[in-house]
């Protein structure tokens, strides 16, 4: 672990005001610290150190660690202590590749030709009566972390096994398998329950929540080439994306000048007004 600050609010007679009293917030901070390496993998977690690090109470830290223990992020053992068990894998939002340098491989589990249907025709902009289906497993750290069902036109007849056991990215897949220049991707993220077959493949309980992802990949000229449906273990991966808004120029709106009508009205009033006092009406002669 990193060295915590040298003081705790209680040592100065402080109260809970301004502290991370919510176990949910403490859990978020611990998990983020594990993900980015501020807390080392396999590190021993000491409640007092975490109280100081996150300016929190013992109850909130303990509740946060219990929640992380239930999801397998940490392991808690009586009279032994708490240590980090694992760190989930960051996967690019629109890609297969991991964001932290870990390698993701694929294993082909099924491939066949199936009748097409309206969704595929519309999304891929094709008129084929049949479509090619390839199912893959995603493997990282010798563990299956997800699976993919990919649909594309049968005119792409390369063998997906040629990509087996190679570190994967969609740019490489589009270039080497489809033979096209990589373009953009349209992504939709959701969650779903694992059916029995998926649960067996991913080694989870049937009904467990999975992260789901639908992506439409296009070529450099915008032509749709493949639509995929992914399911990942929610306790093993997280989706990540980098957004750069540095080219956006923002300026505060200038103060609005009075409308011409308002200016005229103001001027007329000032001209008709007596600077020495109120306007006096003429009396009858």
pLDDT in tens, 65-94: 999 998 888 999 988 899 998 778 899 999
- The CATH code of the domain that includes 28 is 1.10.10.10
pLDDT at residue 279 in the model:
40
- Long-range CB pairs of 60-63 (<8 Å, 24+ gap) are 60/20, 60/21, 60/22, 60/23, 60/25, 60/26, 61/23, 61/26, 63/23, 63/26, 63/27
Is 38 domain-assigned?
Answer: yes
What pLDDT score does 9 carry?
44
Q: Torsions phi, psi of 192, nearest 5?
A: -155, 165
Same domain, 108 and 44: no
**Could you tell me if 73 and 163 lie in one domain?**
no
**The predicted structure's pLDDT at residue 269:** 41
Residue 282 lies in a domain: no
| Long-range contacts of the stretch 20-23 (C-beta < 8 A, 24+) | 20/54, 20/55, 20/56, 20/60, 21/56, 21/57, 21/60, 22/60, 23/59, 23/60, 23/61, 23/63, 23/64, 23/67
Looking at the structure, tell me whether residues 124 and 183 fall in a common domain. yes
Output the pTM of the full model.
0.73
Considering the domain architecture, whether residues 55 and 187 belong to the same structural domain is answered as no
Any idea which residue has 């760190």 for tokens? 87
**Does residue 275 belong to any structural domain of this protein?**
no
Same domain, 44 and 71: yes
51 and 173 in a single domain? The answer is no
CA within 13 Å, CB half, 22: 5
Does one domain contain both 164 and 129? yes
- Residues 97, 211, single domain; the answer is yes
In a domain, 246, yes or no: no
pLDDT attached to residue 128: 92
The CATH number of whichever domain residue 94 belongs to comes to 3.40.1410.10
Domain presence at residue 1: no
Whether 163 contacts 106, CB under 8 Å: yes
Residue ranges in the chain whose pLDDT is less than 70:
1-20, 165-167, 250, 252, 254-285
Q: What is the pLDDT of residues 4-26, one digit of tens each?
A: 444 444 444 444 455 557 899 99
Selection from 109, 92, 108, 94 nearest residue 228 by Cα: 94
With respect to residue 46, please indicate whether it lies within any of the assigned structural domains: yes
Helices 58-70, 23-35: axis angle to 10 degrees equals 60
For residues 77 and 97, state if they share a domain. Answer: no
Cα 247–chain centre separation: 22
Q: Which residues, at least 6 apart from 188, have a Cβ–Cβ distance to it below 8 Å?
A: 213, 214, 215
Residue 254 lies in a domain: no
Task: Assign 218 to helix, strand or coil.
Answer: strand
DSSP notation for 88-104: PEEEETTSSSBSSS---
Q: How far apart are alpha carbons 140 and 233 in whole angstroms?
A: 12
Domains of the chain: total: 2
98 and 69 in a single domain? The answer is no
Contact (Cβ atoms closer than 8 angstroms) between residue 30 and residue 37: no
d(CA 177, CA 45): 46
Residues 71 and 118 in one domain: no
- Domain around 152: 89-240
Q: Are residues 152 and 183 in the same domain?
A: yes
- In a domain, residue 13? The reply is no
Are the beta carbons of 76 and 90 closer than 8 angstroms? no
Q: In whole angstroms, what is the distance from residue 159 CA to residue 234 CA? A: 30
């Amino acid at each position: 672990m990193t060295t915590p600050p040298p003081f705790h609010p209680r040592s100065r007679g402080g109260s809970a005001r301004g502290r991370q009293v919510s176990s949910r917030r403490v859990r978020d901070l611990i998990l983020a610290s594990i993900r980015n390496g501020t807390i080392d993998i396999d590190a021993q977690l000491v409640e007092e150190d975490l109280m100081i690090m996150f300016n929190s109470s013992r109850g909130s830290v303990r509740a946060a660690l219990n929640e992380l223990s239930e999801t397998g992020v940490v392991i808690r053992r009586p009279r032994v202590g708490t240590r980090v068990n694992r760190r989930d894998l960051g996967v690019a939002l629109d890609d297969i590749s991991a964001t932290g340098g870990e390698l993701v491989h694929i294993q082909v589990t099924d491939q066949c030709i199936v009748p097409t249907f309206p969704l595929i025709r519309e999304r891929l902009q094709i008129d084929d009566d049949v479509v090619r289906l390839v199912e893959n497993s995603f493997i990282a750290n010798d563990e299956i972390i997800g699976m993919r069902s990919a649909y594309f036109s049968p005119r792409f007849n390369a063998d997906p096994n040629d990509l087996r056991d190679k570190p994967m990215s969609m740019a490489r897949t589009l270039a080497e398998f489809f033979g096209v220049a990589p373009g953009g991707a349209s992504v939709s993220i959701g969650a779903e329950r694992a059916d029995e077959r998926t649960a067996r493949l991913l080694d989870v309980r049937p009904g467990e929540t999975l992260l789901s992802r639908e992506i439409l990949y296009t070529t450099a000229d915008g032509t749709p080439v493949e639509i995929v449906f992914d399911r990942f273990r929610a306790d093993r991966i997280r989706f990540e994306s980098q957004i750069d808004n540095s080219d956006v120029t923002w300026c505060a709106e200038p103060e609005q000048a009075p409308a011409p009508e308002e200016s005229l009205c103001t001027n007329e009033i000032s001209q008709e007004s007596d600077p020495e006092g109120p306007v006096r009406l003429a009396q009858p002669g």
